Each structure stands twice: as structure tokens, then as C-alpha cells.
Structure 1
């Protein structure tokens, strides 16, 4: 990491508490002259899209404190069994993509059970090559590497299993009006709250490795999410008090993921199907399926035992596999 970038992060960590810090204290903390403080503040604010407030006689602060990622706080929110399921927990200030990083390292032999979280992603990814907007310090960007003796094809239902357990966890935390949009979007009041990206690699008959990428909008502001091309929501809207527990939520999410991965390895998709269906609020609604250049209209008729989407069309019921289609509710 460059010296300039280290200085940015040192300044952010100092200001994260939301308290006023004098220019003199900032200069001493950064090892710069008093005259260089304002320039350092401006550069950091611009680089990381942060609002820094200046009050004469009091100093500088972030108007909204940041709960920065804390490895020990995350682990403390997990049970001993879940912690034992993790080989390593990495926290990055900035990374291109937590999932891309784990996929690269998996190819070099990284062991199963490594989790990576980042304050910011510079090349966050969604499904079908879309960008995942990843501003600094206000959301959760989390990826987990897991190895299976199974063939890659046997992991085809994993996105539904993971989506179901994440929705169920947030419901247990008190968030209502959650729904799942096949195959892997989590919605709150029909606006996107979280997304999953699952990447699998391995031998045709096994073994294989899987990287689960999870992005959850926690406290993202409208200006930060202005480039998102679909309606979105945040945990702060759905349950404000939970949005202020970033590390605790990260720990509970990791626990849910470890448990789901272990169970899927033993039992496959079947124990997750009914849970997914409880959050399937589009069931029975008219929908459009986008399949390459084709648009198929019909009625969402639920999911099959293998996780396929069933669409009721004039030609009858037709199954579609995850990874091939994108689902959109028809406009009224």
C-alpha cells in the first residue's frame, strides 16, 4: 500500500468516532505539518466520498460516525462452533473485489473456510457482469471460500440455500417485509437490500471450491447509490438500530453461512427449499424472464426441488435454471 493510501486510512480511523479532532492533533497523528492538514482532509474526503465537517475552534469530524470493521468484534459475535469452521478471517481496508481475491487465492491452494471482508471494493461485482456499488465503510462486502468433495454441478442450488438462510437471519433480527427474488436477490419492500454472487470451480466429478460473495446495503446514502439502476433499500431504513451493529451483523452472517455450507455438504438443497419458499413473495405473480435476447412472459409458479424456477406459460410449465435468467416483476 502506498504511503498516501496509508495516510488516508490513518485519518479515517482517527475521525471514525465522529468526535471533533483539532488540526494540531491530526497533524501529529499523520506526521505532517499543520499547513498540510486541510489538503490531507480534502484528499481523503474526495478519495473516499466522505463528508468531513469543519468548525472553527473545535476542529474536524465526520458528522456520521463510522463503525469500521473489527476482526475481534466479528469473531466475538460468532459461536465457538462457527469460529472453528473458519480457517482465517481477513479484513481489508480496500480491495478490488473480496470474491475475486478469494477465487485467485483458491486457485493457488488457499484452504477452505477463509472469509474476507472489506471496507471498500474498487471493482465489486454482481451477477451477469454488473458492478456492485461499494462505498467506503457503510455497507457489508463479505466473501467466504469453501471446498467440497462434490462436483461443481452438485452446488447448483447453493444460491437458493444461502439466500434463504440470510433472509431468515435478518427476519430473526426483526426485519419484516423481506422477500427473495430468484435466484439470489434479497428484497425489502420490493427494493434490493442484498445480493449474492456464487462462483464455483473444480473438476467435473469433484472436488470443487465455491466462493460466496455477499453484499448488503447497510447505511448507504442516496448520493452514494445514485448509479444503481434498480430500486434499492438499506438496513438503516428497514431497522435503524441493526444498521449500527455492523460488526455484530457481520459475525452473525458468517455464522449463518458456515452452518448452511456445512449442512448443504451433508444434505444438499432439500432442507432449504421450504425456507426459501417462505420468502417467495413473487409466487403467483405475472413476471418477465430475460433469457439472453429473449423475454419470456408468464406466471411465477414457484421453484422445483432442484431449485429451478417454474414459469407458467401458454405452452405449459417450463423450468429455468439459475444462472441463465433474470427475473423481473412485470410493471402494472
Structure 2
């Protein structure tokens, strides 16, 4: 799809985002194109982005549900003065392969610490283990932040836990009761996945290093959109109902909290947030399986060590693990990845 076509599509979506009825003549005049070009662009956008578009004969077009598109100025104005000082730039994209990939490329080109990238959708968003992240347009939060540290990557082992605490606290303040963290980087609500973090680190062994923290958060997911998800899931719309926060306000709160957590980790490491992570840990004392490469290690979750390692009580005694994926045993029996 050419640049002009993409620009036309994006401009149309901005006009239709309010959910109101807009005539073909109005849209054509706003874009300086023919009504036939408007019709073609709208239907392509609906097909490409999975949007439900309604055409009312002789009256115009509208989206089935209004969209709150992300706006850099709105998010920036909602930040505190210290948070604005921590940022080196805030970019909002309609579509991108991956916000993490974009910032990793920017980091390699010398981008400053504190750069943030958000997108309305991701074409190749990734979760843990390389899984695709379901990415409906204009509904969820897809956010990445670049941060630089003077030390090497080895000192960043507990950073995903610190970032998980930051996100969990934002959600709790937004009214999400029963928010929980699952080691090392998943956000759960009543045993269902609400979001996840993906950290990508690069640098010299003795420093400097940089990390890109990616957050995918389910704000609103339709059943059809979520059909590809292979684990129990939930979205904020189901949890909060009418109290669901706007995307720009929510994103601003996450940017504020994550930038503060990244800065604080450079000063104090993981120790200051260990009590908070342990308070959000809903799975201590439960039977779990740790999947690590081709290995499957079963045991009882015993929380986390002071360096952020997962502690398992196994048949061989208490063991610590710094990598792997936890599968939970549901109450009904059997193992489930969650």
C-alpha cells in the first residue's frame, strides 16, 4: 500500500473516530478526493484493520463504536513535570511491525534514553516465547520505552519484575482489584492474562547497555479477535465496565510509572520493589511446572529470591531459576499455560 493511500486511510479514520455519521461528500471534501476514492479507502481500511464500518444509504458512514486514538500531546500534557523531563520523545504510529523492534533499531542508531513509541496496532507484536500478540486496531495499549544504563546487561536481571510492579500499581490505582503478577513478566486478573511485558537488552558486557521495555495490555478485545489466544485471557473492559479509563489517560499513567521505575532501578536495583512484587504474587504456594527449553521442572512456587529468581520447592529441594516459563495447575486438575 502506497504512502498516499496510507495517509488517506489514516486521515479518514481520524475523521470517523468519533463514531458519528459522516457523509461521503463531507469526507471527500476534507481529503480532497472523490467520493469513490473515499468508499474504496474506507472498505480497504475496514478489511485491513478489522473495523466494523456501517454505511447508511444517502447519509454516510460511521464506525460501529467510537475510537479514542492515541495523541502525543494529550499524553504528554497528562504527565508530571518530572516524567516529562525523563522523556526524550514520544512517537505515536498508526501501524508498526513492533514497537519494540522500532526502538531497538532507534537505540542502535543512537536514540536517547527515555524515548517512547506507541502504536494503534502491531503487525508483528511478540509475546513471551515468540508468540504473536493479538493486536486489534485502536483498542489496546502497545507501548515500548527505551532506557540506557552505564552498566552491563547482567545487572538488569530483575528489571522485568520492577516494571511489572509499576504497571500493576497503575492498574490498581485505576480500580483493578485482584491484579496479580506471574513470574517473570505477566499481569493476571483472577488467573487470566491481562497483559505482558517483553524486555530486550543489548550492550557491552561491562557496559554501557540499553533495554527496550515493551508492554501489551488488553484494554478491549472482542471474542473473535481473541480467538487466536491460547490461554485464559481478560481485558480491562470486562474488569472495569463503565469505569474503563480512556486510552490516552491510561497510557500516560503507564509512561509515568515505567519511566520512574526504569530510573529508580538504575539507582537502587530490585531491592526497593521486592516487597511490592511479593504482595502482587498470587501463585506462591501453588504447584507449577517450569518450562525451560526442552526441560519441564515441577514443584511448588516459593516466591522469588532477592535477585528476582523464581524459587521452586522440588523433589530435589529448593531451587532458583533465572529463566523459563511458568505453567499453572488449575483447581480442576491438569496443567495449563497461563
TM-score w.r.t. the length of structure 2 is 0.95
**Contact 2:104 2:212 (8 Å CA) reproduced:** yes
Partner Cα distance (1:88, 1:232) in 2: 32
Q: Which residue of 2 aligns with 1:251?
A: 252
SS of the equivalent of 2:299 reads: strand
Partner Cα distance (2:222, 2:233) in 1: 11
**Contact 1:219 1:243 (8 Å CA) reproduced:** no
Partner Cα distance (1:299, 1:43) in 2: 51
Partner Cα distance (1:40, 1:207) in 2: 47
Q: Which residue of 1 aligns with 2:20?
A: 19
Q: Which moved more, 1:39-48 or 1:195-204?
A: 39-48
Question: C-alpha offsets along residues 237-281 of structure 1, whole Å, 9 cap, x if unaligned?
Answer: 111345341001111100001111111100000011110011111
**Following TM superposition, by how much is the alpha carbon of 1:56 offset from its aligned partner in structure 2, in angstroms?**
2.5
After TM superposition, the structure 1 = structure 2 runs for residues 4-153 of structure 1, keeping only pairs within 5 Å, are 4-153=5-154
Q: Which residue of 2 aligns with 1:308?
A: 309
Partner Cα distance (2:21, 2:39) in 1: 14
**Contact 2:185 2:197 (8 Å CA) reproduced:** yes
After TM superposition, the structure 1 = structure 2 runs for residues 277-292 of structure 1, keeping only pairs within 5 Å, are 277-292=278-293
**Contact 2:174 2:245 (8 Å CA) reproduced:** no
SS of the equivalent of 1:78 reads: coil
- The alpha-carbon distance between structure 1 residues 98 and 242, as it changes in their structure 2 partners (threshold 3 A), is farther
Question: C-alpha offsets along residues 60-101 of structure 1, whole Å, 9 cap, x if unaligned?
Answer: 111210000111110121101111100111111111111101
- The alpha-carbon distance between structure 1 residues 245 and 102, as it changes in their structure 2 partners (threshold 3 A), is same
Matched pairs, number? 330
**Contact 1:286 1:299 (8 Å CA) reproduced:** yes
SS of the equivalent of 1:176 reads: coil
Question: C-alpha offsets along residues 4-52 of structure 1, whole Å, 9 cap, x if unaligned?
Answer: 1111111111100000001211222233322343332211100111001
TM-score w.r.t. the length of structure 1 is 0.96
**Unaligned residue ranges in structure 2 (runs of 5+):** 334-338
Partner Cα distance (1:303, 1:241) in 2: 36
RMSD: 1.2
SS of the equivalent of 2:41 reads: helix
Q: Which residue of 2 aligns with 1:327?
A: 326
**Unaligned residue ranges in structure 1 (runs of 5+):** none
**Contact 1:235 1:242 (8 Å CA) reproduced:** no
After TM superposition, the structure 1 = structure 2 runs for residues 263-282 of structure 1, keeping only pairs within 5 Å, are 263-282=264-283
SS of the equivalent of 1:265 reads: helix
Partner Cα distance (1:223, 1:31) in 2: 35
The runs of 4+ residues in structure 1 deviating greater than 4 Å are none
**Following TM superposition, by how much is the alpha carbon of 1:231 offset from its aligned partner in structure 2, in angstroms?**
1.4
Partner Cα distance (1:317, 1:237) in 2: 38
**Contact 2:75 2:249 (8 Å CA) reproduced:** yes
Partner Cα distance (2:62, 2:4) in 1: 22
